[in-house]
Structure formats: structure tokens, C-alpha cells
Amino acid sequence: MRLQRFLIPATLLVLLAACGPAVAPPEAPAATQEPPADLSTPPTGPTLTSAPDRPLVALVNGCPIYLVDYERQVAQYQTAMAASGVDFASPEGQQRLLQAREQILNWMIEQVLIEQAAAEMGIAVTDEEVEAALAQIIQDVGGEEPFQARLEQDGLTRQDVWNELRIELIGAAVIERVIDSVPTTAEHVRARYILVDTREEAAGLLAQLQAGADFAELARTYSQDESTRAAGGDLGFFPRGVLLAPEVEEAAFSLQSGQISPVIESSFGFHIVQVIERDPDRALSPENLQFLRDRAVQEWIEALWAQATIERYVNQGP
């Protein structure tokens, strides 16, 4: 359930390949407005009236993504991957390229969505900030001369890199705004639980608990969760939104200290939950804070996709 961050632009990926092994871009969130595109064939859809000679690969809330820009990104990705040893002539390489073409288009669509959201949020990046980031890239590749050599080798211009850095900085600023909206404290409960395979077994254990049996002892004896069994089923303190079984979490937050839940079914099996303590305002652990921040960003990005009008001018195919 960890979140997915932005793709590295192909332009920057090519340059950074000089500093270490190149990596394939991670998957972009799946588009919700249109089916996956066939990126092995050129687009056949309309062009903008204002630019009839510039075919489109997509429109994002009315904003064009031009085929020439998309193909340039794909070519830069291919260059970087070929330099790392990928054989695009092989069946595996062809499949990888097809997947990468879809991912790159998704990345380009997502960047348009993020830039549009940034404008609505009043977020902008100055030329000075972009120049500072560019200076860091130049330093990372060994200075101005190696930087220029890489540009020539990969068919890039300084402006290409500048533009991609601007996009990345805007994305980072937007994500920072979303992250800042996640509070650092929250209501917590400390609970323990027993996990078993069948409802009948859980019902029998619940009857023993209602008759006065010790919860922790039963958990140590019968619980199927090896990570908590030795501790008597103790989950420690946790906020809302972090447990793998939301049914257990919902039950825990509905109980008062000392109370025991009825038998609860989840995809993992059958549970009995007991709340030990409640804390109305406890600092989030670093791990839980990061998890909730990641989830907030993921949900925000998914909402951008869900609310967008996206037209792709390519067809699904082999």
C-alpha cells in the first residue's frame, strides 16, 4: 500500500545514467478516464485547429500533449535503457518498450494534471530555482563539459533539461503541500487481537473470554498471527488507516478500554479484538506518519485522474 511517486522524466533519466545504472521508470497510476493506449502505432485522432500540423497523442482537460514531444521522451528512454544493456530487438525488450511507452504517456498526462492543479493552488517555481537544480545536475555529471557532451550524445538541448526540471520542481512543491495537510498527531488506540481460521474456533474463544479467560494467554496459545502471538496479540498503539485489516481497525475504534469485540471476519480469517487503552491525541510514529502521507499523495493523484477529461488518440493493440 505504499505510494507511487512520479516517474523520472526520460530527459533526466538519460543524463543521470552517466552517474550510475539506469533504471526503468515505475508504473504510473492507471488512467481512469480512458483504456490503456496502444503506443506501438502513431495516433490517428484529430489535431488542434490552431496547430493542424502537430498531431496529438492526448488531450488532458483540453490541454494538448503532442506526438513529437511524446516520441522524444520515448527515444530518450530507449537511449538510456540501451546504454544499460537492454536489447530492444529481443521479444522481452519489445514487451518492455511497449510497457514503457504506456508508462511514459501516463507520466506526461500526470504531469499536465499536476501542473493544472499547481496553478489552481497558486504554486509556481521561479527561474532561479530551476537554474539551481540544473546546476546540481551539471555538478552530478561532472561539470559543464561532460554535461554538454551528454546533451550532444543523447540529442538533447539545455532547454529540454531545464523544462523537465521545472516540471519536477512543480510536482515536488505540490506534493509538499499535500503532505503538509496530514496532521502529525491523531487519535490512537492500543489493542490486541486473536486471529483464527474458522468462525467456530473464534466463537469458542469468545465464549472463554466472556467466561473470564485471559485474552493474552488465549492469543499466545491460539492466534495464527505469528507477528503478535508472542506478545499476547498486542498491536501496540495505532491510528486510523494503517492496519491491513480495516475490519479490525473499525472494531478497535468502536470499543472502549477493556471491551471485547464480537467475532469479526476479514480476508485474513476471523478475529476477536480487545482495546487496552485509548489516546485522543498522540504523536504519529515516523513509520505511520510516512504511510499516511504516502496514502494522502496517492489518493490526491488518483482524484486528479478520476476528475479529469482525458482523450487519447491511440488505439489498444499488440
Task: State the Cα angle at 36 between 33 and 41, rounded to 5°.
Answer: 125
Total residues belonging to the chain: 318
Local confidence band at 49 (pLDDT 50, 70, 90 cut-offs): very low
C-alpha dist (Å) from residue 216 to 96, 189, 270? 51, 17, 17
Query: Side chain identity at 313, as an amino acid letter?
Result: Y
Exposure on the CB side of residue 259, measured as CA atoms within 13 A: 12
Model pLDDT, residue 54: 83
The three grid cell numbers given for residue 289, joined into one nine-digit string: 506518519
Name the H helices within 181-270.
Answer: 199-210, 215-222, 226-229, 246-254
pTM as predicted = 0.74
Of 193, 211, 315, which is closest to residue 264 (Cα–Cα)? 193
Query: Side chain identity at 161, as an amino acid letter?
Result: V
Model pLDDT, residue 205: 98
Q: Which has the minimum average pLDDT: 61-75, 199-213, 244-258?
A: 61-75
Local confidence band at 85 (pLDDT 50, 70, 90 cut-offs): confident
Model pLDDT, residue 265: 97
Question: What is the Cα 110 distance to its own chain's centre?
Answer: 12
CB 251 within 8 A of CB 263: no
Q: Which has the minimum average pLDDT: 34-38, 54-58, 266-270?
A: 34-38
Q: Write out the H or E segment, with its range, that includes residue 190.
A: strand 185-196
Judge whether residue 1 has pLDDT over 50.
no
Domains in the chain: ranges and CATH: 10-181+299-312 (1.10.4030.10), 185-283 (3.10.50.40)
Q: Which has the minimum average pLDDT: 45-54, 125-134, 172-181, 186-195?
A: 45-54
The three grid cell numbers given for residue 286, joined into one nine-digit string: 515516523
CB 14 within 8 A of CB 72: no
Q: Quote the mean pLDDT of the chain.
A: 84
Model pLDDT, residue 24: 33
Instruction: For residue range 117-169, list pLDDT tens digits in order.
Output: 999 999 999 999 999 999 999 999 999 999 999 888 777 789 988 988 999 99
Model pLDDT, residue 315: 57
Model pLDDT, residue 36: 35
| CB neighbour burial string for 54-72, b if at least 16 within 10 angstroms, e if fewer | ebbbbbbeeebbbbeebeb
Over range 58-73, report the average pLDDT. 92
Model pLDDT, residue 51: 52
Over range 263-283, report the average pLDDT. 97
Model pLDDT, residue 153: 78
